[in-house]
Each structure stands twice: as structure tokens, then as C-alpha cells.
Amino acid sequence: MKFLNYLFIAAAILPGISQAQSTAPKAASFSSMDTNKDQIVTKEEAQKAGMPDAVFKKIDKDGNNQITSTESNAYRAQNNSIDAIDSDKDKKISRDEAVKMGMTAQEFRILDKDNSGYITQKEWDTGDWIIW
């Protein structure tokens, strides 16, 4: 019977864990998602980058299953605050915070223009990253 109790507890806890994972902010750059470099992010390319369907639909304003850089920029104009991914709220993105939301070390270096070890909002704005 004890084993059954454990199972019950695990079942009660697990939904909470998966929910926490799905709400963790993620980000990807338009250029890295556009794997075939045709300046369009298709639904397939977005899915490979881990973008949920609902987010894709929100960015794809005309609903043709393709995100153009114009659509990407329009979304970025509304959703480009680093607050969403700045977990310790010091108004800048550390390497740890960047890696957690899906950035590679190389991508971090590109955005960290003054090489301070942090990405500021100003530096973030110069990139083509989409936060969701």
C-alpha cells in the first residue's frame, strides 16, 4: 500500500512541475530559427526552435504559416523587454540567464557588444530575438 501512496503523491506533484517548465520564458533569434536562410521562419522551423504553436500564431499576423522579418519586428516592438528573462531583476541579462532561456555562448557574445558580461536592454534591442 505504501507504494500506491507514493504513486499518488507523484501524480499530484508532476502536473505542477510540467506547468512550471512550460511557463518559463524562452527566446530564439529570427536568424537562428531561419535555418534555410530564406528570410522566412516557417512553422516547421519555429517548431524546431521549440516555439509553441500559440506563440507562432500570435506572431504570424496574416496567418499564412510563415513569419517574415516584418511580422517578427512587429511582435518584438510589443514583446521585447528583457524583464521577462531577467530573473534576478538587475536590469541586465547575465550569461546564466541567457543560457537558461536558450542562448548559446556565441550568441551571447554577439549581443554583449561592450563585452561587459551582461546584455543590457539597449544591446538586446540591436538583436533579432523573439521572447515568448
Residues 6+ apart with CB under 8 A from 103: 27
| Positions 92 through 131 that interact with Ca ion (CB under 5 A) | none
Residue 81 as a binder of Ca ion (CB under 5 A): the answer is no
d(CA 65, CA 129): 19
> Applying CB under 5 A, which of residues 53, 88, 114, 125 lies at the interface with Ca ion?
88
Q: Which lies closer to Ca ion via its Cβ, residue 4 or residue 80?
A: 80
Q: What is the DSSP letter of 85?
A: T
Binding mask 21-40 for Ca ion (x = CB under 5 A): -------------x-x-x-x
Query: Cβ contacts of residue 110 below 8 Å, gap of 6+?
Result: 127
Note the residues at the interface with Ca ion (CB under 5 A). Answer: 34, 36, 38, 40, 60, 62, 64, 66, 86, 88, 90
